[in-house]
Structure 1
Amino acid sequence: MDHKTRPLVPRTRPSWYYRILALIESDVNSEKGFTSSRQRAGHRPTTTYLRDDVFDEDISDLDTRECQKTCQRCEDYIEPDDEVEEGEEIQESDAQDCDCCCHEEEISETGSDASYYEEIRLEREDRKEELLATKKLSRLRCAEERETQSEHQAAYDTAYKALLKAEKDQKAVPISLKDKSFILYSGDYVEHFFHENSPTKRLDLNTIEPEDKGLMCQVYLASGTSTMFELCDPPTLASSRPLKITTSEGRLEITIVSNKYLKLKASRDLVHANSVRESETLPDTVPAEFEFIGIWRTLKEQIEEGRRKRKRS
């Protein structure tokens, strides 16, 4: 004799709620997002004790502002009291684990823990909005970085062509690198390592005292970290032939085409060593070498560029 299987009565809240609840109610999870001192004192902890990032694990796609009014999983769900026609096979539904907005709307005001659930749900919605705002700002800054990098690439190309012409005509292009700081721009870096708090990348060239002969050079690609090397005999003429440098973190090539423009090529290992994502495994799509356009500006030029950026934003 066939037995018809009735669905189990589901939990009435989305799965994320029970995950958060388990964190709140468990003493052993005190380091995973909340403080359990109130629990030990006999009180139920509130969302005041939750870190914002506790909600991040199962927050849905941030680009999806609205879901369908009823998702397929909710449509397929059969309530325990629904009538079942003879011969119909009913499987246990997983709609109780659905996190779509239609499910939350239906249950937000029911149940004995409604007010507690609502408090946590609103906290989670606030976190969603915060992440959305951060993601939007990151996309905006990324687009601005790409636009700026494109402009500087064009300026470098112009200077490089002028150098090639001068070399062809056997004309020297004098340069002075002492105590200069070149701001670095890279489309590859924006593509693979950019984040909303990306620092300004630069190459500093400082005179070595007291001999005043060589240059101490530092490449900054991330906040608080740098790669250092020394140029004992710095060039005094621009050249299309790059300077090749080996450091403990990786390889560098620097092509100095004028007093204002240079190109810096850095190995992936060096860029990764200076990245805020150093602990992460790099995907295969990350290039073996990164190119940076370096630009030196006078104080007046720096102020003018700052004004242009503010106007764009």
Structure 2
Amino acid sequence: MRKLLVLLVALVTVAAFAAVNFSGGLYVTPKLTYDTGTGGLTTAISVSPWLSISSSGESDNTGFVVTFSGWSANVTTDTYVWQKLYKSESFNVTLKAGLISRGVYAGPSYFSGIIGKPALWFGNEDGTEATVGLDMAIASGDLSDSLVLYLYPSSTATSVDADLVNNLSFGFLSVGFMARGIFGAVSGGTVSFPGMGASVSIDLAKALNIENATLRGFGGVAIDPAGTDLASMLEDYVVGLDLGYDKFNASLAFQKGNKLGIAVKTTVLSPVTIGADIVLPDMTDITEFNLAAYASWTTELLSHRVSVKYTGTAVELAWRLGVYF
């Protein structure tokens, strides 16, 4: 009888969900590093697993997302529950609660990630903070806009602090904006502006009706209102361009501090993709640079990437094996 009850509870629980979705992956990367200063060789193997579970109710009015990362199975952003308070074809209001990452990003598309690239991320600094968000989204034709107010405990505000994030997309134009720590900026009897970040992306190929090509301009800025002059208020910025035609792609990006990055990749040797990234941390000194070159391919379930990286003080040879589901 007890087993029957357990089975009935399990069936009712499963029936409450329209579907449970699993996605994730695993990277295993053997590395050999040569220290250019000491001449020493070191070996290492890094293992990076991650898993995301999500589901929604049969009516698609409620749901959840749970993300795990690392061997300790730490729950990370994004991990939250959600409920639609109002929905229609063109307007939806959704309540979210949990660990929610948020912010605006501006950066190039074709860097490999082997070395750091010029890019800007302006968002929540602590991804483990509990947050409640109210998401108001509209969609009509080529226009979509999402305005989200996030509330979370804060030591700098009387009780809670707030972030405001807006993402708008219209045709070939995408714009993001974030105001961070709104209540904290007006607490303690003082009134100031919150930290602000903005991003913009323009699909020039779409705007100019260029077929079979990529031509995207992007830019981003982070503003610190506590700065005493324009230079200190301009906390960070990045501008750049993505280019692509047929089997060739490239990115060019410039970031505050004279940081310049160039990336190229091609599938001319398909099924093998080859590419290279170079980043000058300060383009006024061309003797200091980081360089990466790689070849990647897939065999059944496994993706492979063999790479060599130079950072001035070390040369690293790595073979990354990955699987995704």
More helix by share: 1
Give TM-score, length-normalised by structure 1.
Answer: 0.21
More strand by share: 2
Q: Which has the larger radius of gyration?
A: 1
